[in-house]
Structure 1
Amino acid sequence: MGGQGTTGRVTRRRAHTRARLLQAAFSVFAAKGFGRVPIEEVCEAAGYSRGAFYSNFGSLDELFFALYRERADLIAEQVSRALAADGPEPDVPAAVDRVTEVLLLDRDWLLVKTDFLVHAARDPDVARTLLEHRARLRQAIAGRLVRGRTRLPAVLGDADGAAHAVVAAYDGVTAQLLLDRDVTRARAWLGQLLTALLTDGSGTPV
């Protein structure tokens, strides 16, 4: 019994250490960029030693990937919940409002995500995993369009095509957001783009 209790405490402590390292890494990566931050700086920001770092991660790349996966999974879940909040009749403008609110909350995340995209472009293994996460996001969007029997503009083809268009619009708007730092404008612009993509422009599904 005592051994099990000790194991439980060690497991919780290890999870806490890992979480603090990820949180600290997120802050320093957002401020300085991945590739410009040594392990020592992440450890200092988290209040841990290099030993604590290496007991949780084999390298800075591994930590960076864990950080991306954690945030990407959270956002995919938030988008899924936002899309699932509709009633039986699709309300595209309302769904667009909920999704843009989720997707544009955190400029720091956009900085880290952009760093990860550049990193993945140079590493085929990382790129495959990034593509899997982006596919999950598109599947959540396409699935909601299918369940709501949303009528889509012919140019988009099917729900999967519409989901690709939604993600492409998000990528374009967030690239501008990184430069002008105007979250309110970016959210409004993305909402207008998505509403135009998925409706006749008036908010009524085509």
Structure 2
Amino acid sequence: MSTDTGAGVAPSDDAPQVSPRRERTRERLLDAAFEVFSRVGVQGSSIETICDAAGFTRGAFYSNFASKEELLVALVTRDMRARLASLEGVVEELDVTAVEGSTVRPEVVRTVFAAVMGDPDDQRRFHLVQTEFELMALRDPEIGQRYQAQQEQIRGELLEAMRRVFATLGLRFVIPDREAVDILVATYLFSAQQAFFVRGEDPRATALLEPVVRLLATEA
């Protein structure tokens, strides 16, 4: 699974410095949690199971996370930020013109989608974790507040990333940026879900994403 240093809050200049050793501990706990959550579910797992998988004690866990739910938020945030990094990275490496006429080339959409998706099996397992997080948020008001805060934070980071991406590609949205990004995210999630049900590359995964991008984006 791709890693990032996010832990549920955006880094700031005055944030306390995390030692390399503690950072490695956090990453191992997050990696272990991903394996455990994707195998037996968030609610079906325990802190002890996660600690055993990471090779740490409960003390190491609680020195980094206050609860299993806090770890879950950090895990989802880390994955989302890794996808944003992949998005911006692949756009910087594109060697073709993104726009043909006034519309985005389909091959550009497919290339970006594949880069953000990453390993299909890895992303399928993460989708299981993310879906359970959503269900927990719907059932538990306290978790729901954490979920909403995390989603709003990532939404803001995604909006800024998309503005940078569009500037690099020489594109602009034809409707307000925030609404356009919300539509793209919803379409991406639906397209990604379709890809999880097949093995290997499936052209249907971007069948809806491509026309939506063409409708929302045009040459700047």
Q: TM bucket by the smaller chain?
A: 0.7 to 0.9
Return the structure number with greater helix share: 1
The Cα offsets for residues 122-148 of structure 1, whole Å up to 9 and x where unpaired, read as 422331221220332244234433554
Q: Distance in 1 between matches of 2:93 and 2:42?
A: 36
TM, length-normalised to structure 1: 0.75
Matched, 1:135 2:156: yes
- Map of 1:111 onto structure 2: 128
Unaligned stretches of 5+ residues in structure 1: 1-9
Q: Distance in 2 between matches of 1:168 and 1:177?
A: 14
Q: Give 1:174's match in structure 2, choosing from 192, 195, 202.
A: 192
Q: Distance in 2 between matches of 1:177 and 1:90?
A: 24
Question: How far off is 1:168 after superposition?
Answer: 1.2
How do 1:1-206 and structure 2 match up within 5 A? 11-86=19-94, 89-91=97-99, 92-104=105-117, 105=119, 106-121=123-138, 122=141, 123-145=144-166, 148-150=169-171, 157-178=175-196, 180-182=197-199, 184-185=201-202, 188-199=203-214
Q: Distance in 1 between matches of 2:164 and 2:194?
A: 28
Question: 1:39 touches 1:60 (CA, 8 Å); kept in 2?
Answer: yes
Question: How far off is 1:88 after superposition?
Answer: 8.9
Q: Distance in 1 between matches of 2:181 and 2:156?
A: 9
Aligned residue identity for 1:15: E
The Cα offsets for residues 145-173 of structure 1, whole Å up to 9 and x where unpaired, read as 35544376xxx634544332221111212
Return the structure number with greater strand share: 2
SS where residue 199 of structure 1 aligns? helix
Q: Distance in 2 between matches of 1:80 and 1:88?
A: 15
TM, length-normalised to structure 2: 0.71
Question: How far off is 1:189 after superposition?
Answer: 2.2
Unaligned stretches of 5+ residues in structure 2: 1-17, 100-104
CA-based RMSD of the aligned residues comes to: 2.9
Rate the CA distance shift 1:163–1:84 in 2: closer, same or farther, 3 A: farther
Question: 1:82 touches 1:95 (CA, 8 Å); kept in 2?
Answer: no
Question: 2:34 touches 2:75 (CA, 8 Å); kept in 1?
Answer: yes
Question: 2:187 touches 2:208 (CA, 8 Å); kept in 1?
Answer: yes
Question: How far off is 1:101 after superposition?
Answer: 1.0
User: Which ranges of 4 or more aligned residues in structure 1 deviate by more than 6 Å?
Assistant: none
Q: Greater relative contact order: 1 or 2 (C-alpha under 8 angstroms, separation 6 or more)?
A: 2
- Map of 1:4 onto structure 2: none
Q: Distance in 2 between matches of 1:41 and 1:75?
A: 27
Question: How far off is 1:21 after superposition?
Answer: 1.0
Question: How far off is 1:198 after superposition?
Answer: 2.6
Q: Which structure's CA Rg is the greater one?
A: 1
- Size of the aligned set, in residue pairs, is 187
Q: Distance in 1 between matches of 2:96 and 2:195?
A: 34
Question: How far off is 1:22 after superposition?
Answer: 1.0
Q: Percent identity?
A: 29
